[in-house]
Amino acid sequence: SESPVEEESESGGTIVLPKFEAIKKRKADKKDDIARAGRAKRIPRNDETLFREAIEVDPNADANPSLFEDKGNVDFVAIVLGQGADTFVGIESAYLQLGHSALLLVIVLATFVNEPSFPLTNLPVEYRDFLKQGLAVTAVINSAVAVLAVFEAPNRKQPAWFWGSKSLLLGGIALNQLRTGTGTQPVSK
């Protein structure tokens, strides 16, 4: 029996690609299989075959902590990178963290550096003052969030100094990560 590709190439030299519906159905079926397997047994991160299958079905599967075994402790690098937290309007916490960090660097550069030959740093004084006011308001709000994070981090067996400084820099993004992405529930008293 010849494959459909061989039959088509012989009868005109063209290859018939699968329909979008067939691809979607195959993807949904495979996703259901992985979900069923995930409910029964979560994927260990060091199992390359199962990990690759999950990534083939959903390219963002590595950011979905419900698919993988929980080791009980959270890797410090994963915490710094913002992995494992709940999404915000469908956007992963790590992407929000990266975007806000880059935006902060650009705003600080535009606000405090004055280089006449570079348009980003050659802003009128009124714009610089507006950016300074915005940074001040953000710093006040993030300070309040940092205080919350400092008091909540020990309840989740996390370093308070780290979450305080991260919340001071990133505000609610860091607090959301502390509450949803550290893999620990608050310690009951």
Q: Tell me what percent of the residues of the chain surpass a pLDDT of 70.
A: 78
Q: What percent of the chain has pLDDT above 90?
A: 28
| Residue 109 in this model has a pLDDT that exceeds 80 | yes
Flag whether pLDDT at 3 surpasses 50: no
Residue 5, pLDDT score: 46
What confidence tier does 182 reach under pLDDT thresholds 50, 70, 90?
Answer: low
Top-ranked range on mean pLDDT: pick from 47-51, 84-88, 115-119: 115-119
Average pLDDT over residues 124-150: 95
Residue carrying the six token digits 């405090």: 112
**Is the alpha carbon torsion for 81, 177, 38, 72 positive or negative?**
positive
**Which pLDDT value is given to residue 7?**
46
Per residue in 115-134, pLDDT tens? 888 888 888 999 999 999 99
Give helix then strand counts, H and E, for the chain: 8, 0
SS (H, E, C) 67-131: HECCCCCCCHHHHHHCCCCCCECCECHHHHHHHHHHHHHHHHHHHHCCCCCCCCCCCCHHHHHHH
* Chain mean pLDDT for the chain: 79
Give this prediction's pTM: 0.58
Confidence (pLDDT) at 144: 96
